[in-house]
């Protein structure tokens, strides 16, 4: 079975500093991996996805993620954090079929001015 794990419940970073939100996956075969962001009392918004191709995936709002097969990781990164990036971030994987999107437990990102 496929699954993703987000080891950090919360991440704090100073504005202007680089940020990393961690995600690891366990899967057989080629994973489809995603990052979503959720602002307070809102629905989730798609940020980026990895299906095949380049290991570095660029997404919305200046975010990017690196697929690392040897470390089974798909960490979300941004070179310079903004206060407005403060939100809840979810890693997810898709194992095929109509319903098989599995979300991680979420990481709360707090960017400090």
Partner 1 sequence: SQTIHQWPATLVQPVGSPLSLECTVEGTSNPNLYWYRQAAGRGLQLLFYSVGIGQISSEVPQNLSASRPQDRQFILSSKKLLLSDSGFYLCAEGGEINTGELFFGEGSRLTVL
Chain contacts with partner 1 (rule: CB under 8 A): 32, 34, 36, 41-46, 49, 51, 88, 90, 92-94, 96, 98-101, 103-106
Nearest approach, Cβ of 14 to partner 1 (angstroms)? 24
Q: Which lies closer to partner 1 via its Cβ, residue 17 or residue 45?
A: 45
Q: Which lies closer to partner 1 via its Cβ, residue 16 or residue 39?
A: 39
Nearest approach, Cβ of 78 to partner 1 (angstroms)? 21
Q: Which lies closer to partner 1 via its Cβ, residue 82 or residue 88?
A: 88
Residue 34: both structure tokens together? 């995603």
Nearest approach, Cβ of 82 to partner 1 (angstroms)? 21
What are the distances in angstroms from CA 65 to CA 44, 73, 77, 112?
18, 10, 6, 22
DSSP 2-35: -EEE---SEEEEETTS-EEE--EEE-SS--EEEE
Per DSSP, what are the bridge partners of residue 49? 34
Q: Which lies closer to partner 1 via its Cβ, residue 55 or residue 80?
A: 55
d(CA 65, CA 19): 11
């Amino acid at each position: 079975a496929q699954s993703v794990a987000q080891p950090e419940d919360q991440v704090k970073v100073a504005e202007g500093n680089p940020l990393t939100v961690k995600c690891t996956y366990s899967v057989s075969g080629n994973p489809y991996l995603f990052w979503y962001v959720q602002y307070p009392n809102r629905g989730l918004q798609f940020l980026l996805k990895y299906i095949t191709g380049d290991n570095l995936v660029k997404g919305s709002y200046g975010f990017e993620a690196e697929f690392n097969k040897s470390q089974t990781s798909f960490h979300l990164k941004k070179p310079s954090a903004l206060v407005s990036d403060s939100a809840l971030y979810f890693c997810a994987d898709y194992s095929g079929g109509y319903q098989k999107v599995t979300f991680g437990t979420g990481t709360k990102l707090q960017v400090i001015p």
